[in-house]
Structure 1
Amino acid sequence: MLFLYLLNPYGLNIYIGFLLTGLIILQKGFLVKNIDIGFLLLFMFSLTYAAFFSFEPKAGNQYIIIYAIAPGTLYLLGKYFADKVDGNRANLVLLLLCAGSVFSISAILSVFTDILQNGYNVVDRNLPNYWTGQIIPATIMGAYFTIVMTIPALLIPEIKKLPFVMKIVLLLTYIISIACVLRIGSRTQLSISVITLLISLFYVMPRQSFKRNFFMFSLFALIIFFIANTVSFDLDQDWLSAFAGRMEDGGGEDIASGGGRTERWVKSMENLFEKPLGWSEDEFGHAHNLWFDVLRIGGFLSFFLLIAFTTNAFLSVRKAIKKNKSAYALNNLLIVYTLSICMVFMVEPILEGMFDFFAFFCFFIGVVKKYNTDYPVID
C-alpha cells in the first residue's frame, strides 16, 4: 500500500493515504512509542498550514485534510518500515532505494510513453499523466525523477544484498530517466545527477579500496569514451530540442538568477515583515521555494514551524551519518537523498503541485529517525 501511494495509479493516492493513516493509528502501541519532537513539529506545521489553506482552497477542499494528516502519516510509516528491517543497514538501503524507484515510475511511464509516440520534435514540455491523461507541467513532472537521477551516485559504494541484476535494472532506469529529463528539458534534474555524483565520489573514494576505485574510474572512462564517440551533442539534434529551447530562452543572466527566483525570494523576505499572515499569489506568483511558498499561503507561523521541522530533520540526517562511519553505503545514500531533495526544495513550490514529493521526504526522515533512536551507535 505504501508503494501504491508512491505510484499513485489513477490519482488514487488520496484514498490510499486515508487508509494508511487508519492502519497506522490501529497499530497497537505504535503511536505512543514513536511520537517524537520531529513528529510534533511536523504535525503542528501540517495543521497550521491546512488551516490557512482552508481560507482559499484552490486545489480543492479535500486537500485541507490531506495537508493536515498525510505528512505525519508518511513520517510514521518511515518509522514503521525501518522498525521492520530491525536495524539491518543493508535492508534500510534497499528499502529507500525501492521507495525512491517506485516514486518515479509514474513519471517515467508518462514521459517515455510520449517519447515513443511523438519523439522529441514536440515544443510543449508539459505532458499528460500516464494514468489520468491530465496535463502535468514539466516542472512538476521533473520532481518525480529526483531520486532516480541519483542512481549513479548511489551505486558507487558496494551495497550488500543488492543483486547484480538489480544493479542493471537501476542503471537502465537511470538511462531511461535521462531520456525523459531531456524530453521535458529539466536543467534541475541534470544538475542533481551531476552534483550528487561528484559529492558521492568525494565521500566514498577515501573509504573504499584502491582496487574498487580503479575499477570504478576505468568504467567511467570507458562510458565517457563510448558516449563521446557515438552521441552527438549538437543542440540542433531532435533529442535535445526541448532542452535546447530552454537554454536559448534562459541565458546566463537567467541561470544566475535561478530563472528569476532570487527576486521572488527577496520579495518574500520583505513580505515576512510586511505581510506576516501571507499574501495573494497574484502579487508575483510562486516564490519557487518550499519555505517561502509556505509563508505565502500559511503565514509566518507555518513558515517557522516548517523551518523548525526541516532543521530538526537535517540534524537527524547528520546524526545518522556520524553514527556508524563504516556504513558508508547507507551514509552515502543519506547524503545523496538529502542533497537532491534540498535542491528541489530550494527552487520549487512543492506543496502546490508536488505534495507527494514532500510526503516522500517525510517518509525518508521517519526512516532516519528510527535508525537514530533504536539502533546502537558504532564508531
Structure 2
Amino acid sequence: MTNATNVRKNKSYFPEKTRLDWIWLIFVFLFSLNLYNNAMYLMIFTLIIGLVITFYKGSGFKFTIEFLLLLLFTFSYFLILYINSNAGLYSMVLYFFGPIGCFFVGYFIVKTEKKIIVNTIFAILIGNFFHGLLNMINYLNSFGVSSSQRSVPDIWSGIYTAATLEGSHFTLLASLLFFTFTLFTKKSSFIWIIMLLAGIFFSIFTSFILGNRTLIIITIVIFLLNSILYILLKRNSLKQILSAYLYIAFFIIMIAFIYSIDFLGIKDFILTSQLFNRIEDSSINEDPRLVVYGRAITQMFDFPFGGYQMDLGLRFAHNLWIDVLYATGLIPFFFLFLFTVKTIYNGFYILINPYVEVLFKILFFSVNLGYLLNFMVEPILEGATYMFLSFCLINGMISKYMYTLRFQKKLVGKDKRDI
C-alpha cells in the first residue's frame, strides 16, 4: 500500500466541513482585488469570516515558531515606527494586527485538506490579476499602447503607481507559467489551462508596454527553477517529464513562428516597446537598486533603530528586508529575516514530503518564490502592504498543513516527530 493510499485511508479521522468555504474565497478575492480601495476593511471582514468558518469546521490552532517570529517582528516594527514617527491606529492595524491576524486565520482555517489552500492561492492571484487588469484597461484608455508613460493610474484611488508596483499585481499569476504546462500532463480542463495562459501572456504583454523588466526576469527565473525541480520530483517517471517538455517545446516553437512572420504586428510591437528600448539602453547591472542595497548594508549598524536616516540615494531601498532595516532598524529586520528563513524551510519540507502531490509542490513553490522575488525588488510594506499580508495568510495555511502531514504520518506509523 502506498503512502498516498495510507493517508487517504486515514482521512476518516479528519471529517471536514467545506460548505462555507466559498464565502471565505469570495472575501479573499475581494480583499486581493482591493475593491474600491477598501483593502483594510475587506481584510478585517475576511479575517472575521475566516474565524467563523474555523469554528464551523471545528479546526484548531497550534502556537508555532513562525507565528512567534512574525509576532515579534510586527510588534517591534510597529513599536519602533510609533516611536520614530508617531504612527497611529491605521498603522497598528496594517503592520501589527494585519500580518499576525492573516497568519493566525490562515493556520486556523485549514483542518486537513489542502484543497482550501489551493483555492485560496487562486483567489489571491486572480484578485491581484483583476486589479492589475482594471488598472491596465484604465491606462490603455488614457495613454494607448505606444505611450512612454511608465506609471499607471490605480482604478480605485486614481493614484499613479510605478510600473514595477503595477507588475506586482501580475507576479503571482506569471509565476505559474511552468505549472500551467504541467496541467497538460494531468489532463486538466483545457479551458482552465487556456485561461491561465491568457492571463500569463497578458501579464507579460503589460511588461512590454510599461518597460517592466522585473516581471520578465521573475517569470524566467521561476520557470527555469521549476524546470529543474520538476525533473527532480519526477525522476522516476520519464514519460511525464518528456510529456511536459514536449508541450513546452511546442509552445516555444509556435511563439517563435508567430514572431518570425510578424503575426498581427507582434514583432514590430516587441521591437518598438518600452521594454526592448530599456534593455538596449541600460543593463540590469546599472539598476540603482543594486547600489542602494550595498549602501544599506554598510550603514546598517550606524542606525540600529532605523528612522529613515540612512543615506540610500533613493526614497526606498526597494527590498522588503532592507526597507524594514531602513525604517525601524536591526531588531524587526532580524525577526523578519528569521520568519522568512522558517517559511523557506516549510517550503522545503513540502517539496521533500512523499505524501504531497507533485502538482501541489510545483504550485506552492512557484507562488512562494514569486512572493519572495517580488519582495526583493519592491518597497512592499510601503507600496504593496497587502501583498505581504496575503503572503502571511498562505504561509499560515502551509504551517497548518505541515502539522497535519506530520500527524497523518504518525497514524500510519511513518514518523513520530513533533513539529
Query: What band does the TM-score fall into relative to the shorter chain?
Result: 0.7 to 0.9
Please give the secondary structure, in 1, of the residue aligned with 2:131: helix
Letter in 2 for 1:191: I
Deviation at 1:16, TM superposition (A): 1.6
Instruction: Determine the C-alpha separation between the residues in 2 that align with 1:327 and 1:202.
Output: 17
Cα 1:234–1:17, aligned 2, differ >3 Å: closer, same or farther?
Answer: closer
Letter in 2 for 1:168: I
In structure 1, the partner of 2:318 is 288
Judge conservation of contact 2:295–2:311 (CA < 8 Å) in 1.
no
The one of 253, 267, 274 aligned to 1:242: 274
User: Which stretch shows the higher mean deviation, 299-308 or 117-126?
Assistant: 117-126
- Is residue 109 from structure 1 mapped to residue 134 from structure 2 by the alignment? yes
Please give the secondary structure, in 1, of the residue aligned with 2:171: coil
The one of 354, 357, 360 aligned to 1:327: 357
- Is residue 72 from structure 1 mapped to residue 97 from structure 2 by the alignment? no
Percent sequence identity over aligned pairs: 24
Letter in 2 for 1:5: F
Instruction: Determine the C-alpha separation between the residues in 2 that align with 1:103 and 1:77.
Output: 20
After TM superposition, the score normalised by the length of structure 2 is: 0.79
In structure 2, the partner of 1:128 is 153
Letter in 2 for 1:204: Y
Deviation at 1:32, TM superposition (A): 7.0
Letter in 2 for 1:130: I
Instruction: Determine the C-alpha separation between the residues in 2 that align with 1:360 and 1:317.
Output: 16
Judge conservation of contact 2:103–2:394 (CA < 8 Å) in 1.
yes
Q: Equivalences for 1:1-379 in 2 at 5 Å?
A: 1-23=27-49, 33-55=61-83, 62-83=90-111, 86-88=112-114, 92-115=117-140, 118-158=143-183, 163-205=189-231, 207=234, 209-231=237-259, 232=262, 237=269, 240-251=272-283, 255-256=284-285, 259-280=287-308, 283-284=311-312, 285=314, 286-324=316-354, 327-375=357-405, 376-377=408-409
Letter in 2 for 1:150: S
Deviation at 1:153, TM superposition (A): 1.5
After TM superposition, the score normalised by the length of structure 1 is: 0.87
Cα 1:23–1:334, aligned 2, differ >3 Å: closer, same or farther?
Answer: closer
Cα 1:75–1:150, aligned 2, differ >3 Å: closer, same or farther?
Answer: same
**Structure number with bigger Rg:** 2
* Gaps in structure 1 of 5+ consecutive residues: none
Please give the secondary structure, in 2, of the residue aligned with 1:120: coil
* Gaps in structure 2 of 5+ consecutive residues: 1-26, 415-419
Cα 1:160–1:78, aligned 2, differ >3 Å: closer, same or farther?
Answer: farther
Q: What are the Cα deviations for residues 148-200 of structure 1, in whole angstroms up to 9, with x where unaligned?
A: 11122222334869533222211111121111222222111111111211221
Instruction: Determine the C-alpha separation between the residues in 2 that align with 1:39 and 1:142.
Output: 29
Instruction: Determine the C-alpha separation between the residues in 2 that align with 1:328 and 1:209.
Output: 12
Judge conservation of contact 1:289–1:350 (CA < 8 Å) in 2.
yes
Judge conservation of contact 1:121–1:238 (CA < 8 Å) in 2.
no
RMSD: 3.0
Instruction: Determine the C-alpha separation between the residues in 1 that align with 2:150 and 2:203.
Output: 15
Judge conservation of contact 2:174–2:219 (CA < 8 Å) in 1.
yes
Cα 1:209–1:322, aligned 2, differ >3 Å: closer, same or farther?
Answer: closer
Cα 1:152–1:275, aligned 2, differ >3 Å: closer, same or farther?
Answer: same
Please give the secondary structure, in 2, of the residue aligned with 1:344: helix
Cα 1:182–1:238, aligned 2, differ >3 Å: closer, same or farther?
Answer: closer
Judge conservation of contact 2:31–2:127 (CA < 8 Å) in 1.
no
Letter in 2 for 1:148: L
Instruction: Determine the C-alpha separation between the residues in 1 that align with 2:137 and 2:88.
Output: 30
Count of residue pairs the alignment pairs up = 372
Judge conservation of contact 1:79–1:370 (CA < 8 Å) in 2.
yes
